[in-house]
């Protein structure tokens, strides 16, 4: 009984067995927080862009992409879990919401861009808590050069410039080799070229980390900014790395990156070039830079949130009163043999209660059991309703939302409430 069409960004699309895009998600698509003046995500985008002044700065690509763009052009295997309807949002089997900004790499390289940044909203189905939200923002950055001596000379000169700059700065880098057995050179590449590109990638990003965090930790020779490189794997880069920064007593995961896998560049018709790409999540960085404690706040329309920020300035968020939490338990039996993915439960709750839900937890393992005689499975979720905006949520309102959750759960998943 699903509707046969769904309207997304003003266009109608046919639905099918893969359709799982929810009204809550559809409502986020036009917002583009990263371009809203004064919004923390917009200031962070601009701060990153200002560090790469000679790069093209893109920020208005549509979130609708094909699974082919999001996965296949980037060499994701056919059975990659990210493709499943429990992890990603589909308009229908041929159209989805990008799960990362890398989905645009082939398109942007194909247009002839060689040095670019792209900031955009990305979508992943997820649980509900203070640091997870099904929409977040990423900045992708990439640079490619000709795979010949001219291209390598350009990289070498840039490496010297960047190394000299970092030499004079208070930064301590825990590095890994550019290449290793786990993180090998690609068959299509000369290892000497790969080393130069990987070095340029590391120097460029170490310098970006200094730009974003250096001033704010008050890095000095005795107390330098600490950056750590870790080997990683991504289907469209080899070698691949992750970068972490030590900030306020914790290692923060900042970004993923690597030397672009040549088939990706072949797909963009730039086989004669090679280079690097990175992708970083804006919310996680903005949360620590601005001391924003809950990821839902980025979506707040409350003037007490929005009026605190000015474009181009990073200031410490002053929390306003938190309203009391209101916990409601939802316990139910699933029909025999049926399962319910936590992400399906969370999307249902978001559609009814929106950002009034602070978190959803599987209440206890004792309550996640299968009845020995009837073979039915029981689940219990604890929903924390708490308004982050203008006013307190009354117990009556929380009850009414919870009643709607329960009845929707019954209709949609045929569960029996305990």
Residues lying near ligand PHE in the complex (CB under 6 A): 100, 102, 140, 234, 237, 256-258, 277-279
Smallest separation, CB 169 to ligand PHE (Å) = 25
> Which residues pair with residue 132 across a beta bridge?
129
Residues 6 or more apart whose CB falls under 8 angstroms from that of 157 comprise: none
Beta carbon of residue 328, minimum distance to ligand PHE (angstroms, whole number)? 34
If phi > 0 it is left, if psi is from -120 to 50 it is alpha, else beta; for residue 225 that is: beta
Q: Which residue's C-beta sits nearest to ligand PHE? A: 279
Name the minimum Å distance from CB 330 to ligand PHE: 32
Q: In what order do the strands lie in the sheet with 225-234?
A: 56-58, 115-123, 135-146, 273-281, 250-260, 237-247, 225-234, 171-174
Whole-Å CA distances, 221 to 154, 165, 224, 226, 345: 31, 14, 6, 11, 50
Nearer to ligand PHE, 40 or 258 (CB): 258
> Which residue lies nearer to ligand PHE by CB, 277 or 383?
277
> 46 CB contacts (<8 Å, ≥6 apart)?
311, 312
CB of 142 to ligand PHE, least distance (A): 8
Phi, psi of 290 (to 5 degrees): -100, 0
Least Cβ distance, residue 198 to ligand PHE (angstroms): 13
CB nearer to ligand PHE: pick between 277 and 295: 277
What is the number of other CB atoms lying within 10 angstroms of the CB of residue 285? 24
Distance CA 20, CA 88 (A): 8
Minimum CB separation of residue 416 from ligand PHE in Å reads: 39
For the four alpha carbons of 291, 295, 296 and 298, in that order, the dihedral sign comes to positive
CB of 257 to ligand PHE, least distance (A): 5
Q: Which is nearer to ligand PHE, 16 or 253 (CB)?
A: 253
Of the pair 100, 199, the CB lying nearest ligand PHE is at 100
Task: Using the minimum distance from each CB to ligand PHE, give the nearer residue, 201 or 380.
Answer: 201
Q: At 308, is the secondary structure helix, strand, or coil? A: coil
Q: Which is nearer to ligand PHE, 139 or 387 (CB)?
A: 139
């Amino acid at each position: 009984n699903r509707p046969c069409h769904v309207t997304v960004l003003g266009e109608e699309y046919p639905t099918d067995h893969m359709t799982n895009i929810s009204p809550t998600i559809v409502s986020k698509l036009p917002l583009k927080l990263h371009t809203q003046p004064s919004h923390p995500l917009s200031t962070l985008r601009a701060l990153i862009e200002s560090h790469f002044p000679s790069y093209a700065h893109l920020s208005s690509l549509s979130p609708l992409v094909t699974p082919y763009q999001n996965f296949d052009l980037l060499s994701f295997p056919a059975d990659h879990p990210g493709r499943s309807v429990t992890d990603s949002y589909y308009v229908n089997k041929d159209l989805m919401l990008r799960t990362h900004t890398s989905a645009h790499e082939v398109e942007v390289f194909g247009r002839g861009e060689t040095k670019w940044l792209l900031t955009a909203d990305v979508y992943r189905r997820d649980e509900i808590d203070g640091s997870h939200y099904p929409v977040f923002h990423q900045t992708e950055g990439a640079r490619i050069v000709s795979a010949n001596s001219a291209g390598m000379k350009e990289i070498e000169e840039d490496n010297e410039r960047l190394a000299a700059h970092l030499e004079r700065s208070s930064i301590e880098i825990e590095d890994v080799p550019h290449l290793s057995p786990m993180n090998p050179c690609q068959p299509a590449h000369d290892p000497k070229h790969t080393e130069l590109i990987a070095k340029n990638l590391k120097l460029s990003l170490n310098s970006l980390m200094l730009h974003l965090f250096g001033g704010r930790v008050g890095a000095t020779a005795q107390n330098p900014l600490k950056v750590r490189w870790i080997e990683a794997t991504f289907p469209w880069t080899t070698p691949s790395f992750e970068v972490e920064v030590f900030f306020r007593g914790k290692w923060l995961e900042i970004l993923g990156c690597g030397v672009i896998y040549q088939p990706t560049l072949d797909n963009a018709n730039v086989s004669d070039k090679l280079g690097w790409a990175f992708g970083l999540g804006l919310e996680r960085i903005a949360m620590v830079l601005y001391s924003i404690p809950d990821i839902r706040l980025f979506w707040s329309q409350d003037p007490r949130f929005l009026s605190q920020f000015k474009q181009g300035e990073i200031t410490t968020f002053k929390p306003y009163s938190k309203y009391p939490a209101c916990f409601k338990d939802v316990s139910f039996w699933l029909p025999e043999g049926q399962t319910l993915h936590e992400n399906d439960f969370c999307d249902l709750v978001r559609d009814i209660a929106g950002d009034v839900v602070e978190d959803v937890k599987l209440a206890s393992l004792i309550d996640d059991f299968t009845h020995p005689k009837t073979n039915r499975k029981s689940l219990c979720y604890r929903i924390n309703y708490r308004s982050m905006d203008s006013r307190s949520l009354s117990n009556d309102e929380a009850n009414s939302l919870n009643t709607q959750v329960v009845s929707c759960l019954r209709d949609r998943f045929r569960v029996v409430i305990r």
